[in-house]
Amino acid sequence: MIDRNFTYKFIWEFGNATSISKELQNIGSIYDFSYSKINSSFGNTIFQADEKQASRQLFYIHPFQDGIHVIDTGPSFHYNQAEEIRNQDTIQYK
């Protein structure tokens, strides 16, 4: 008989905040954080994974030509780090 084991943990947080200064004109932000962890085994094979991810976007929306068109601009940031281990062989992603 083959021994099998699997555990998974996942945490996720998402949100936004918008401040309206004038009609159709917005300033705001969106954020996202997540964390996941996997521990598993199947027979003699052991697999473990750990991942962290974060992103943030700030934006400014400005209408022109009587609100027919809008321009959406702003900086964004994204971070992702992952590590996978299979039978003590490690792979890292950044």
Cα separation, 29 vs 12, in Å, equals: 17
Cα separation, 25 vs 73, in Å, equals: 12
Reported as a single tens digit per residue, the pLDDT across 12-66 is: 787 776 666 666 677 888 888 899 998 888 888 888 899 999 999 888 888 887 7
Q: Which amino acid is at 70?
A: V
Kindly state the helix (H) or strand (E) to which residue 4 belongs, with its residue range.
Answer: strand 4-22
**Higher pLDDT among residues 1 and 14, named by residue:** 14
Position 78 scores a pLDDT of 93
Position 77 scores a pLDDT of 92
